[in-house]
Chains A and B, each alone.
Chain A
Amino acid sequence: MNISTSALANSYKPLLLLLMVFSACVTGCAQVAPWQRGNLAKPQMALDPYPMLNEMRGHNYGSREAGAGSGSSGGGGCGCY
């Protein structure tokens, strides 16, 4: 239990760092007007250009590795093989 508590406490640090970076960005990043976002609208710029493929990959990695995946939607089964 001690281990888990200290692990949690340590883990807040990166979270704070992340929030700080983004807070800075929200105010400090260049303003991009809507009509300047044409390139960002292209399919290759989507955060996930291959949703089904990446979901399948995530399932394979998740059943072979112990690190946390990027999602937490549940499911996926046991992967007990």
Chain B
Amino acid sequence: MVQVGAVAVAVININLKKNLQSSKAGRKSNNMCMKQDAKPRAIGLQALTAAALVLPGLMLSAPCNAEDDEMDFQYSHYQEGKRNLYGTTADNRNPIEVDSTHGRAKVSLTDRVKFAFNYTQDTWSGATPVTTAPLEFGGNHPIKIGASPLIDDRQLHIDQNGSPVKNIGIDEFSPVYIKNTQLVHTLSVASPETRKQGDFKLTHEWDEAAIDVGGGISVENDYESRFGNLGGRIDFNQKLTSLNLGLSYTNSDTNALFDHDISGYFNGGAYAAKGQLEKGRLKANRQDWGGNLGLTQILTEKSLIQGTVGFTHATGYMANPYKIVEVGFIAPNQLLDNGRDPLLPDNILVADMMAFLEKRPDLRNQWNLGSHYVQYLGMLDAALHFDYHFSTDDWGINSHTFEGDWVQPLGCGWTVTPRIRYYSQDAARFYTPYLLVNKAKGTTTSAKATDYLSLPDSYSSDQRLSAFGTLSGGVSISKKFVKGITLETGFEYYTHAGSLKIGGGGEGDYANYNFFVASAALKVNLSALGHGGGSGEHSHHDHKHGAPIPAGVMFGHMMEKTGDVMVGYRYMYDTQAGSMLHGSNNVADQTIVGQGCGNTAISSCFLTTNGMNMHMHMLDLMYAPTDWLNLMLMPQFIDMNMSMRRLDGAPSTANGSPAHHPDDTQFMKDMMIGGHVNTGMASGGFGDTGMYALFKLWGTPDHHVNLSLGATAPTGDVGIKMRPMMKVYGNNYMDYGMQLGSGTWDFKPSMTYTGKYDDWSWGAQVNGTKRLENKNDSGYALGDVFQSTAWGSYNLLNWLSTSVRGVYTAQGGIKGQFIGTNNGSLNNMGPMDYTKNYGGKYWDVGFGVNAFVPSGDLAGNSLSFEWLQPVATEVNGYQLARDGALSATWGYAF
């Protein structure tokens, strides 16, 4: 035993020193983890090396993955269910949904230094509660054009005890009031918005310790947050125990602009007094300091436990700028009021309901205690994870979280993990569905500005601060393939209810809601790739690479060995800005106003696109079932944003035309310009999914001709709408260019020739897109596309080449149009809303660099960039000029 122990210790040391850079030992242990389900290889040394990986320090993240270089991609969709609005309308409002993508890269810079980078992007849209009020207040009644939102300056009838009452009398002349305390949310609809976050972590490892430093930034339209953190770990007690320490600092700015539909219909006096609310824009800052301490202890051969304690100290603006609290002002001496409704019984009072921006304390100290226990179940080779967290803060919120996960490997690389989670919290002490104050409402501007002084210091109706419980359950399924590829899917259903709070007594049923989250992830273990997939005898085979293909060209390269797999990531950025074009020429605003939109007086152009950016992230998954056929799957994720400007000479109420009348379409459009110009538009989510077959038609060692036949499935949303502006519900689609896909099945053939001689290579491709349907679910079909391109490339070094390329593209106009829209439609505001202004002919020149790693640990990786510079453009109708496009691709063939 002593001897074995000595060997084990020796292996541990070797492992810790060398494993960190995907060394032989590391791969062996990794392979063992990967293959344990397939073939139990009882190789003593591997078992011992695997044992080394269990050291608590390494276990702070997944032991089999933590030490390996990885590229991971994840997509998830969050979908909330509809709320119960108790018979009030607003059924045309879809609940909140969120599409998220997450990309992560972890690479070893040296034996001891590792770098991890994460990019996350969320796009959300839909209806969410903006406030709460008694049902009798009627906050969700239909809203007509030009009417103000039903959250402000309306009356509620209450009894002497302050309870809302309902008139059940047979008519208004013989009222009979009964108590009705039912509450209901008022929903508000958000246009799609996108958040982007980038963060990094740099770690230095020693044998029994590590330190890390990290930071990042999260940016969205109205909120920006920057953060940094420091962490450390020490292992002791023969590595049975690990101590972790972390410190973090976050600085966040809120910059919320309230558009016409909400600005003016709430009271923000408390923020205006502090100078945080000016001209309909709320600006405020918050800072969070956090610290946490964790201890991990191996208890037995089959169990371990982790305990954490964390503290967060937050100061500044911690409210949600889009949450309103309804306040009922009960004027004293109402019975003596001459204006009082004479039919109201004496025991019924009137509360004037006013809407206030919520207000939270500007200080929060929060403690968090957590424990995590993991037990191995030998009979089933499974692991049971149990978590309990408790948190408490000086807002009065105590919360308990219980979570259980059963991780069950099933063999052949499959793992199934059912899970259940229960959460319960108390309400914040300043949480209230609505407020009543015994004071008459302010009637003058100055009195309204100080009405907030009659309210408590803090008040919020945000459901997140109420008392409730949640129960959620789901399952994760992962499948590990050979060559270090893992696919992972997850599903979870979550239900929020006041009655689920520990001990009951939570918020009423009106606040209940559910959501589900579905996700899929692809994980590529770079260290495990190309190294034999678990034999323990990895081979550094050199990778061959065909002629370099510019980053902007797809389907140019085929794998020629049966069974080969390629995983790639492709990023495309396309930007438009500058002048408006008509054909190939710049065009004056006045011309666009008169001719760019419809032909009638009510269909002038009011605004136009000022800038447009599109980011597209695509995954390339390629497999060669034979040496002449490659199959490709390309899911993609898109986000776009567009800024707009008012056209010079657009009809304006300021000039007396159009007339100031709420029923006048021209007037409404004029009023809506502000909403468009101030906030712009954004959309994002899953795009169309491409499926292709690549055929090798002809080939010699230096020349290849490939044919690609494929189609894109209409998985991208083509029904994206803006939030209702000026209370206009209905067909308020974002313009055609902001939709996430074509909405039709599209046939996409291409043919590519590539050749090379010495350090020179060249190629040419023709490709096309043929829409297979006349219209999509939204009533239109994009134009067909034809493209031809040719390029030349020169190898500067054996791993680096440059390329120059010419591209010609022709795209047809749009057929049909959005269902229910016409020239005079309220949301047809500018040239981008008219189908005649789509399509054209484009000439571009591309400049690119390609890097390829031919041998060594990173053999098989390739990285390419190409900038496409427009040289000539001939657009149909009136369109914004193009600035250029960037393509970047990373690929790994193995």
Contacts and interface: CB of A to CB of B under 8 A. Distances in A.
Contacts of B382: 44
Given A29-B297, A38-B47, A56 B100 contact: yes
B399 A66 contact: yes
Contact of A52 (B29, B74, B301): B74
A62 to B, nearest CB: 10
Given A38-B54, A46-B63, 13 more contacts: A34-B51, A35-B4, A40-B54, A41-B63, A43-B415, A47-B62, A70-B308, A70-B368, A74-B229, A74-B290, A77-B195, A81-B124, A81-B322
A14 B390 CA distance: 10
Nearest to A6: B394
A-B interface, 7 closest residue pairs, ranked by CB to CB distance from nearest: A67-B399, A74-B227, A72-B290, A4-B394, A78-B223, A68-B368, A44-B407
A47 B33 CA distance: 15
Interface string A46-81: 111111110111011100111111111111111011
A71 B400 CA distance: 15
B469 to A, nearest CB: 10
Interface residues of B, number: 137
A57 B219 CA distance: 20
Interface stretch (B233-241, B543-551, B751-759): B233-241
For the residues of B in contact with A, the DSSP-based class is strand
A46 B64 contact: yes
Interface of A: 3-4, 7-8, 10-11, 14-15, 18, 21-22, 25-26, 29-53, 55-57, 59-61, 64-78, 80-81
Contacts of A38: 47, 50-51, 54
A78 to B, nearest CB: 4
A3 B50 CA distance: 50
Given A70-B370, A80-B322, A47 B59 contact: yes
B420 interface: no
A14 B98 CA distance: 37
A59 B365 CA distance: 20
A35 B51 contact: yes
A46 B394 contact: no
Interface of B: 4-5, 8-9, 12, 29, 33, 36, 47-48, 50-55, 59-65, 72, 74, 76, 78, 96, 100, 102, 104, 122, 124, 126, 128, 190, 195, 197, 199, 214, 216-218, 220, 222-223, 225, 227-229, 237-241, 246, 248-250, 252, 254, 288, 290-292, 295-302, 304-310, 312, 320-322, 363, 365-372, 374, 376, 378, 381-383, 385, 389-397, 399-401, 405, 407-409, 415, 417, 423, 425, 428-429, 464-465, 470, 476, 478, 488, 490, 492, 494, 496, 515, 517, 519, 521, 523
A65 B4 contact: no
B464 A45 contact: no
Contact of B393 (A7, A49, A53): A7
29 contacts: A25-B241, A29-B240, A33-B5, A36-B301, A42-B376, A46-B62, A47-B374, A50-B417, A52-B102, A56-B100, A59-B100, A64-B496, A64-B515, A67-B389, A67-B400, A67-B401, A67-B425, A68-B312, A70-B368, A71-B292, A71-B310, A72-B291, A72-B292, A74-B290, A75-B218, A75-B227, A76-B218, A77-B218, A80-B321
Given A53-B476, A65-B425, A70-B368, A15 B309 contact: yes
A18 B465 contact: no
A44 B61 contact: no
A55 B59 CA distance: 17
Contacts of B370: 70
A57 B488 CA distance: 14
Contact of A49 (B220, B228, B299, B407): B407
Given A26-B297, A53-B476, A31 B238 contact: yes
Nearest to B478: A50
A59 to B, nearest CB: 8
A40 B310 contact: no
Contacts of A35: 4-5, 8, 47-48, 51
A8 B488 contact: no
A75 B320 contact: no
B367 A53 contact: no
B425 A51 contact: no
Contacts of B395: 66
Given A36-B301, A57-B517, A78 B220 contact: yes
B301 A32 contact: yes
Given A15-B309, A67-B425, A37 B51 contact: yes
Contacts of B304: 40, 45, 47
Contacts of B218: 75-77
Contacts of A76: 197, 218, 225
Contacts of B78: 60
Contacts of B290: 72, 74
Given A43-B62, A50-B488, A56-B74, A37 B417 contact: no
Contacts of B464: 64-66
Contacts of A30: 299-300
A23 to B, nearest CB: 9
Given A26-B297, A39-B302, A53-B74, A46 B61 contact: yes
Nearest to B118: A55
Contacts of B401: 67
B403 to A, nearest CB: 10
Contacts of A26: 237, 240-241, 297
Nearest to B124: A81
A75 B198 CA distance: 9
Contacts of A3: 394, 396, 429
Contacts of B305: 25
A51 B201 CA distance: 15
B389 A70 contact: yes
Contact of A40 (B249, B302, B309, B367): B302
